[in-house]
Amino acid sequence: MRWVKSATHRFRSLFRKSVVEHELDQELRFHLERQIAENVAAGMTPEEARRAAMREFGGVEKVKEECRDERRVNRLETLGADLRYGLRTLRKSPGFAAVSVLTLALGIGANTAVFSMVNALLLHPYKFHDLDTLVRVWEDRGIDEGYDARRIAAADAQDLRGRTKVFESMTTFGWRNFSLSKEGNIQPVLGCRVSANFFDVLGVVPAAGRLFTPSEEQAGFDEVAVVSHGIWQRRFGGDPLLIGKTVQLNGRSYTVIGIMPKDFDYPVPVELWVPLALTPAERAERAELNLEALARLKPGVSVAQARAALGNFSKGLEQEYPKTNAGRITTILELRKELYFYSLPLFLLLQAAAGFVLLLACANLANLIFARMIGRQREIAVRAALGAGRARLAQLFISETLVLSVVAGAVAIMASFWSVSALRKSVPVNWTKWVPGWDGIQVDGNVLAFGILLALGVGVFFGLATVLHTGKVELNETLKDTGRGSMTRAKGRLRSGLVVAQVMFALVLLVCAGLTIQGFVHLASVYQGFEPANVLRIEIALPEKEYPNDVKVANFYRQVLRGSAALPGVRNAALVTNSPASNVDNATTFFSIEGQPVLKASEQPSADLQTANPDYFAALKISLVDGRFFSDGDNRDAMRVAVISESMAARFWPRGDAVGRRIKLGAPDSGEPWITVIGVAGDVRQNWWNPVTRPVIYKPFLQSPERGMTFLLRTVSNPTSYVAPMREVIRQVGPGIAMRGVNTLEEEVVESIAIVRIMGILMGIFGLVALALSSVGVYGVLSENVAQRTREIGIRLALGAHPSDLMRLVLGQALKLTGIGLAIALPISFAVSRAMASLIFGIVSADFRVLLGFTGLLVAVALAAGYLPARRALRMDPMTSLRHE
C-alpha cells in the first residue's frame, strides 16, 4: 500500500504543482516566523532576529530545491523539458529529422509488418481457448507423409482412449466431400465427419441450434448436419429458419441442427460437419489409418511427457498386433504447430530479414547522429561547464533519440495499418483459405505493443550509445577550440567500425534476399516434367451410395472420358488421382521388390501412389523414359501392371533394367498381387515442397478405379471455355455429381506457389531497402572521412605529393574498411545460405554467383564513396584546401 501513497504523492507534486509549491512556501515561512518570534523573545530587535533566523536556516531557495528533489519531481519535470527540447531541435533541422525518421520508420515498419504475420499465423493460428493444450494425434509409420497424412487407425484410436492417461479428451474426424443439391443445382461442399465430442474438445459452441449427441454416431441416426456461418450466408441466404430444415447431401436428406459462429471453420476450410458414424468394420480397422484425431492434454502434462507415454502405448500395440502395428509410433504435435513445417522457416527468414533491415537502418542513423554530435560538441561542453552531470546529459540525449524513435515508430505503425491489410488482401483467397489465421493478420494489440517496444528500445539504445560515444567531455579543449569540433582517434575508429558493420549487414541481407528470390524464381519454374499450358482440371468425388463398387465407378469415368474426348478441340482427356500443383501430398505406400530379401517393416521402401488412365502422360506431356505407358488393354482382366518414375527406377534398378520387374504394394507376404513394371515415366514434381525425385508408382485406372479423381483436359486453346461443356457431359452421365476445383492447370501452378511468391517479393523489397540503406550509409561515412582530410590532402599536395598516390591512399582506406566488412560477412553469408538451403524448400544451395555479385556491388559503392570526394579534394587549389574547415 505504501507505494500507492508514494505514487499519489508524486502525482500530486507533479500535476498540482502550484498548490504544492504554495504549501512548501507556507511551511517554511511559518518556521522562519516562529524562529524570529523566538529570537525577539530572547531580546533581539526585529531586524536582528530576522537576520539571525535567516542565517540559521541557510538559503531558503536551496532548501526548497532540496525538498523538491526529495519529492523526486525534478527528474520527471526535466524529462518533460528535455522531450520538448528534443522536439524543438528536430524541428530546427528538418532534413536530419526527415531522413532519420524515415530510415527508422522503414526499419520498424518492416518488423511490425512481418510480426503481424508471425503473430497471426504462428502465434495465434486458431482462436480456441487454451490452444496450447490442443494437440494433433496420429500414427507415424516411418514414411514422411506430410501434413495431409497425419492419420490414425480407428481401432488404435479406441485403444488410445482407454489405455493412456495423458489426454483429458480426444476426438476423431475425417474429411468428406459432399454435393449439396438445391433446386436442381449441385454444388460441391467441403465437409468433415466428426465424433460427437469434436466441438467440446475444441471448446466451441454453436451460434444457433445444437451440436451432435453420442447417439447420432450410430448409422441410421446420423443424418444431421452442422453448417458453418459462411455456407449459411452464401448458400442459404442467411435463412433464419434453416435449423430443422432438411438439405440434400450426396443424395441423402440431412436435417440442419446447428450453425457455427463466424470465425469457426476447423479443420480449415470446412463448411459442414456431420456425425462420424463408423460401420463395425471401419471401427475395427487397424491396418489402414482411416481417421484423423485431436486431443486436449490433461492440465500439467507436457508434450514431451505425452509423447513418452504414447511411445509406450505404441510398443504395447506392436506386441499385441505385430502384423498391422509393427513400426508404428503414435505421436502428437501442438495444434498451433500443425503447419509450422511449411510456414516456420519462411516466416523466421522474413523476420530475420526484417531484423537486418532494422539493424542497417540503425547503423545509418548512428552515423547521422554521431556526425551531429561532433557538430554539437561545443554545446555539450557548455552544458557540462554549467554543471550538467553525466546522468543529466544522458537523460538529455536519451530524450532526444526517444523523440526521434517514437515519431518514427508512430509513422511506421500508422503505415503498417495500411501495408498489413494490403498484404493480407494481395493474396488470392483460393490459397489463403487453407492457411489458418490468415484472416487474422492485422495490427492488433500484440503488434502495436511490438512496434512500440521496438521504437522505445531503439530510442533508449541510441541515447545510451550517444552518451558512450560522447564519452568524457574535455571542457577546456573543446571550449578553447575555435573551429569545428574535431574527431578523436577513438571516435574515428568507432565510425570505421560502423562502415564495417554496415558492409557486413548489407552483404548478409543481400545474399539472403538474392538467394530467396533466386529460389522463388526457381520455384516458379520448378514444376518441370509436365506442360501446364492449355490444360483444364476438374475434380470429381463420386458418392459411395450410388457408386458402391469398382464397376460402377469405372463405368462413370469411362463414359465421361468418352464424352469429353469427343468435344471439339480436346486433344487428350486424362484422369489422375492427384494432379500436380494441387497443394495436396500424394498417398504413400510401402512396397516390396520381387526376389529381394524380406525387410523389417521399418526398412521397407516407400513410394507415392497415383492412379492414371492411358492418356494422362500424353495430356501432361510427361516423357517416356523406358518401356511403354498404359493402354486400354491394361484392364481388370489383364496382368497387373504399373509405370514407375525415373527416380524410382534409378534408385532401385540402377542398371536400367526396371521394365519387366515385379513389385508388390505392402509386405512381400501380404495378399496383394504382384505388379509388373511396364514403363518408366519422367519425374514430375507434385508440389513445390516435394522433392522432384520422390519415387512414384502409377497404377492403371481400369485396374484400381477410385471414386475421387481429377480430370485433366488438354485442349487446343482457351481451356476455360470447356467448363460448361464438361458440366453438361458429367450431368448426362451422373446427374447430381458436382465439379470441384475447376481451374486451369497453369493457374493452379501459379496459385500453389502464391505464398512463396509473396515471400519472394517481400524479400526482394527488403533486399532493395538494404542495398539503398547500406549504399547511402557507406557512402556517407566514407565521403565524410575524406572530406575531413581535405586539409591534409592540401598540405600533402603543397609538399609535392603526386595526386595519383593520394587517390590511392584514400581509395585504399575505403577498400580496407569494406574489405574487413566483407571478410567478416562472407563466411557468415555462406553459412546463412547453407542453413537456408536446408531449411527452406526451393533454395537449392549456396550460390557463388549471388555471393560474388553482391560483393562486387558493395566494393563498387565503396570505391565511388572514396573516389568522388577525393577527386574534389585533389582538384582544389592547395591554398583553398588549407583554409578549408
Partner 1 sequence: MSKPTDLVQGTLDLLILKTVALEPMHGWAVALRIRQVSGNVLQVNQGALYPALHRLEQQGWIRAEWGESENNRRAKYYSLTKAGKKYLQKEEANWQRLSAAIGLVLKTV
* Binding positions for partner 1, rule: CB under 8 A: 1-3, 5-6, 9-10, 23, 26-28, 30-31, 33-35, 37, 56-59, 62-63, 66-67, 69-72
In the complex, the smallest distance separating the C-beta of residue 390 from partner 1, rounded to whole angstroms, is 22
Beta carbons within 8 Å of 330's beta carbon, 6+ residues apart:
137, 138, 139, 140, 152, 156, 160, 310, 311, 313, 314, 317
CB of 14 to partner 1, least distance (A): 12
Specify whether the CB–CB gap between 581 and 527 falls below 8 A.
yes
Instruction: Closer to partner 1 by CB, 71 or 376: give it.
Output: 71
When the beta carbons of 16 and 129 are compared against partner 1, the nearer one is: 16
CB of 5 to partner 1, least distance (A): 4
Nearest approach, Cβ of residue 72 and partner 1 (Å): 7
314-328 burial, b if ≥16 CB within 10 A, otherwise e?
A: beebbeebeebbebb
State whether residue 458 is helix, strand or coil: helix
Q: Shortest distance, CB of residue 372 to partner 1, whole angstroms?
A: 38
Choose between 35 and 419: whose C-beta lies nearer to partner 1: 35
Which residue, 5 or 849, has its beta carbon nearer to partner 1? 5
Select 66 or 477, whichever has its Cβ closest to partner 1: 66
Nearer to partner 1, 75 or 165 (CB): 75
The candidate with the shortest Cα–Cα distance to 712, out of 686, 679, 745, is 745
Contact 744, 538 (CB under 8 A): no
Q: Which of 514, 850, 533, 843 is nearest to 688 (CA)?
A: 843
Q: Nearer to partner 1 by C-beta: 22 or 129?
A: 22
575 beta partners:
711
Is there a contact between 507 and 821 (Cβ–Cβ < 8 Å)?
yes
Residue 642 three-state SS: strand
Question: Smallest distance, Å, CB 50 to partner 1?
Answer: 15
- If the CB atoms of residues 19 and 449 are measured against partner 1, the closer one turns out to be 19
Contact 381, 442 (CB under 8 A): no
HSE-CB for 127 with a 13 A CA cutoff: 12
Which residues are CB-neighbours of 63 under 8 A, at least 6 positions away? 28, 57
What cell does 532 get? 501446364
**Shorter beta-carbon distance to partner 1: residue 73 or 756:** 73
**From the CB of 389, what's the least distance to partner 1, in Å?**
18
DSSP-assigned beta bridge partners for residue 481: none
The distance of closest approach from Cβ of residue 44 to partner 1 in the complex, given in angstroms and rounded to an integer, is: 17
Nearest to 264 by CA among 436, 442, 445, 443: 436
Task: Kindly tell me which of 22 and 315 has the beta carbon lying closer to partner 1.
Answer: 22
In the numeric block, the cell 440431412 is attached to 254
Instruction: Report the residue number, 71 or 621, with the smaller CB distance to partner 1.
Output: 71
Report the Cα 78 to chain-centroid distance in Å: 43
Amino acid identity of 370? Answer: F
Nearer to partner 1, 30 or 175 (CB): 30
Least distance from C-beta 10 to partner 1, angstroms? Answer: 7
- Strand runs (DSSP E) across 303-359, as ranges? 329-334
- Smallest gap, in angstroms, from Cβ of residue 63 to partner 1? 5
65 contacts: CB under 8 Å, gap ≥ 6: none
Round to whole Å and give the CA distance between 804 and 799: 14
CB of 23 to partner 1, least distance (A): 7
- Nearer CB in complex with partner 1: 37/391: 37
DSSP notation for 84-128: HHHHHHHHH-HHHHHHHHHHHHHHHHHHHHHHHHIIIIII-S---
Minimum Å gap between C-beta 75 and partner 1 is: 13
Parallel/antiparallel/unpaired status of strands 535-541 and 167-182: unpaired
* Preceding omega of 668 cis (within 30 degrees of 0): no
Contact at 8 Å (CB) between 301 and 132? no
The backbone torsions φ and ψ at residue 266, rounded to the nearest 5 degrees and listed phi first, read -80, 140
- Closest approach, Cβ 4 to partner 1, in A, equals 9
